[in-house]
Amino acid sequence: MDAELLAEYQAQFTCGFEKAKEVFPACLAEAHDTLSPEWVVAYLDGANFLCKIGMGVEPVLVYLEVMPEIASHIGKGTMKMVADFSYKLARSPNKKALIPFLASLGSVCRRIDTIEDLQHYFEIIESYVDQTQTVIHGHHSIHESPGMIVFMENVPQLISKLTLAGIRNFVDYGARNYKDSPDQQIEYFSLSSHDAKSIIQREREGTVFKDVERHLGMLKDCMWDCDLPFSVFSTAFDQLRKPVPYLDEGLIAVPDVYDTENTVPGIDRYRAMLAHMMAHRKWSTKLMADNFAPHMQLFISVFEDSRVEYLAMQKYPGLKKLFLALHPYPEKGACDDQKQSCLRYRAARLSRALLDETFDSQNPLIEDFRQQFHAILQEKGEKSTTQDMAKLGTGFYVKSRKQSSDSLPDIFFDDTEISYRDDNRYIWFHHEENDEAEDFHNNEYESDEKVVDTADSLPPRHYDEWDYLSESYRPDWATVYERLHPSGDVGKIDRLMEKHDGLAKRLKQMIEMLKPQNKKRIRFQEEGEELDLDVALRSIIDFKSGQAPDPRINYSHTTDSRNIAVMLLVDTSQSLNERNQQTGQTLLELSEEALAITAWTVEQLGDKFAIAGFCSDTRHEVRYQHIKGYSEHYGDEVKARIAAMEASYSTRMGAAMRHAAHYLEAQKAEKKLMLVLTDGEPADIDTKDPQMLIQDTHKAVEELQGKGIYSYCITLDPKADEYVADIFGNQYTVIDHVDKLPEQLPQVFMKLTH
């Protein structure tokens, strides 16, 4: 650009800020090189406009720097849109977010392609502001959205992981759930809360590990005879480093999601990754890292990775196509070793040559070591060793190293990443403890878990919760802590049973009527009660005709029994401490009586059953207490736990039902029944909308039905007709006279299981 044209544009730039005038020539040169003359004029108009909005020089400086690239990518009209939206932001209570907005705009526009997408992004910001800015009625004042600044600061990270639709869902979720909680809103939009990370995982495109975990577990167990557990790490928050898969003696660490790469879908990337690590586990041995220089370790790892993959492809030939589809294909001459370190480039080309016989390396040294590699494998096969590869790797590095460039700080990375391979910590060990390979499993992205430090407790489990407003799940929203219920006085339950002796006798008569009486004959038994004549005669004929006779010539009898598994889930919330006016007993005491009699009834029938109590203190602490397990006999230990029942906190029913279903689903039974005993509607102190937990519990009932579990509610709430049908449909009973609960509960159970 000549001096005359520069002077002409400087005359049009009317901004009075000295700093803006200083950077203007350099910014204008970039604009002139990338934009048409018409667009340069629009660029100047936008800069002049921002100088006059009363926000100082910084917005102008950011605008001058980022807009040429944005406009050249998005197209005509971008400058005016950005300037107008900046003015709107500057005139609002969120004006402090203007600089982060402009600074992040370049990252956003690199991920979108049209001006319509840019408008959509602006609408997302406006929607967030509308939902979260605070209006003080009567004072005619509006306060800023608490999370606006951190949201704008973290948009580059969001846009690198999510589509615009995903960002909209992320924003809507945070605005809706943290509208009245400024601190939690800031934590969410700073991407540091567990909820933010969970929503990002949900909205990311690609194959999520949770969706294929069962499939990969079967591959691991059946094809590789490996029982190591999976451990999942997040790839959504890597700013300074990128975690990679790894294998060690205790676990297999895998990424939480895989996108499609080179037309290879995420599920196949997981298969390739798993096959590579299982091949290491089967055929690799240890090397002491201290004996080899870091550059030497790189090439030894290449030979060892290629060896175990070669052996895996011999075992499962279909892996070859998968490995090569994901392996980079570095072109010759792509790296200039006069300007950059080409270590990774040489390693990638060597690796490709070892696995792909059609790859023309155009390098005599690579060809020489390719022949040595295949000669070892053809001679030794699975008896080849990691030490053999160490010799090859050391020799290749010594002959290929370039002292002048290998240690240059600028390393060539293009087309050198083999994404399905692990970090090879499995083959390296270090003499010094503090030199151990870094463990990504314990990393800064891991959420803090509340610890329940009791001998009878289990690790917490997270469950999704249904949000009926957005018609979507809140991922990992409720945290369930389970423990064994403490014990009390066994005699208390025995005295209750004596009190209800008459009821017990009536129930016993009903039980005798319900017990199966029919006998079922089981044929084809080698040992049994009687001889099965038909089979015996056929066996004699086979024997005399020279054929092998069937030895299963007996039969036996068994009772054609009920095949039912039951979960008795008991609400132990604070409201159970209220007293019944007629009897003077608390609802909790009545529940204990009913539970003891029902448990005795189910035991007499011979059905498999478990008992658990639940209450909650916000979504972060849903307490689930085991009273009786499926493998336990109903005896003094279980009675002692029933006697010790206490009532406290709230009723987050959906999470408790999902957790109880975790155990009930595992039972082998033709019919599975979850019987819920409660005195009120689902509620918790951290949920202001009463419909939220009602709808979530209804969703839990639907989920259980999809798993073959029949849910039924027995409620003591006289107002239950207002909501219980919305949750359980017609699968409920309202007990109006709570003093009749000990009598009615076991009778309801027998009707349901008849």
DSSP symbols for 626-657: EEE-TTS-SSHHHHHHHHT----SBB-HHHHH
pLDDT for the residue 515: 56
Amino acid letter, residue 112: I
Side-chain half-sphere exposure of 634, counting CA atoms within 13 A: 20
pLDDT in tens, 627-642: 999 989 898 999 999 9
**Interatomic CA distance for residues 438 and 334, integer angstroms:** 31
pLDDT band (50, 70, 90) for residue 215: very high
Name 603's Cβ contacts closer than 8 Å, sequence gap at least 6. Answer: 609, 633, 634
- Lowest mean pLDDT of 46-55, 377-386, 651-660, 735-744, name the range: 735-744
Strand partners for 531: 554
Per-residue pLDDT, averaged over 172-180, amounts to 88
The closest alpha carbon to 28, from 2, 57, 54, belongs to 2
The closest alpha carbon to 716, from 675, 679, 677, belongs to 679
Name 453's Cβ contacts closer than 8 Å, sequence gap at least 6. Answer: none
pLDDT band (50, 70, 90) for residue 426: very high
Name 674's Cβ contacts closer than 8 Å, sequence gap at least 6. Answer: 566, 567, 569, 657, 660, 661, 664, 704, 709, 710, 711, 712
Q: What percent of the chain is modeled with pLDDT above 90? A: 47
Integer distance in angstroms from the first to the last C-alpha of the chain?
92
The closest alpha carbon to 746, from 568, 622, 597, belongs to 597
Enter the DSSP assignment of 479. Answer: E
pLDDT band (50, 70, 90) for residue 555: confident
Residue with tokens 């040169």, as numbered in its chain: 29
Whether the CB-CB separation of 732 and 714 falls below 8 Å is answered with yes
| 258: enclosing H helix or E strand | strand 257-258
pLDDT for the residue 346: 93
pLDDT for the residue 749: 82
Strand partners for 33: none
The closest alpha carbon to 575, from 590, 586, 563, 560, belongs to 586
CA torsion angle 721 724 726 730 (round to 10): -90
pLDDT for the residue 237: 55
| 472: enclosing H helix or E strand | strand 472-484
pLDDT for the residue 154: 92
Per-residue pLDDT, averaged over 476-493, amounts to 90
Per-residue pLDDT, averaged over 234-263, amounts to 79
In the predicted model, is pLDDT for residue 365 greater than 90?
Answer: yes
Q: What region, left, alpha or beta, does residue 140 occupy, with left being phi > 0 and alpha being psi -120 to 50 degrees?
A: left
pLDDT for the residue 708: 93
Burial bucket for residue 698 (CB in 10 Å: 0-12, 13-18, 19+):
buried
Name 301's Cβ contacts closer than 8 Å, sequence gap at least 6. Answer: 393, 424, 427
The closest alpha carbon to 748, from 699, 698, 662, 676, belongs to 676
Instruction: Please provide the average confidence, as pLDDT, over all residues in the chain.
Output: 86
Residue with tokens 């076991």, as numbered in its chain: 746
In the predicted model, is pLDDT for residue 432 greater than 70?
Answer: no
- Lowest mean pLDDT of 463-472, 574-583, 607-616, name the range: 574-583
In the predicted model, is pLDDT for residue 656 greater than 90?
Answer: yes
Per-residue pLDDT, averaged over 93-99, amounts to 92
Q: Which phi and psi angles does 673 have, rounded to 5°? A: -120, 130
- 516 compared with 289, residue with greater pLDDT: 289
Name 416's Cβ contacts closer than 8 Å, sequence gap at least 6. Answer: 328, 330, 344, 345, 347, 348
Give the start-end residues of each E strand in 588-731: 608-616, 622-628, 671-678, 709-715
**Interatomic CA distance for residues 693 and 705, integer angstroms:** 18
CA torsion angle 582 585 589 595 (round to 10): -20
Per-residue pLDDT, averaged over 110-139, amounts to 82
Between helices 182-189 and 164-177, what is the axis angle to 10°? Answer: 160
Per-residue pLDDT, averaged over 325-346, amounts to 90
pLDDT band (50, 70, 90) for residue 601: confident
CA angle 172, 176, 179 (to 5 degrees): 125
pLDDT in tens, 573-599: 999 998 877 777 888 988 888 888 888
Whether the CB-CB separation of 474 and 177 falls below 8 Å is answered with yes
- 396 compared with 581, residue with greater pLDDT: 396
pLDDT for the residue 512: 60
Three-class SS state of 12: helix
pLDDT band (50, 70, 90) for residue 517: very low
**Interatomic CA distance for residues 170 and 163, integer angstroms:** 10
Whether the CB-CB separation of 300 and 394 falls below 8 Å is answered with yes
Strand partners for 287: 428
pLDDT for the residue 504: 63
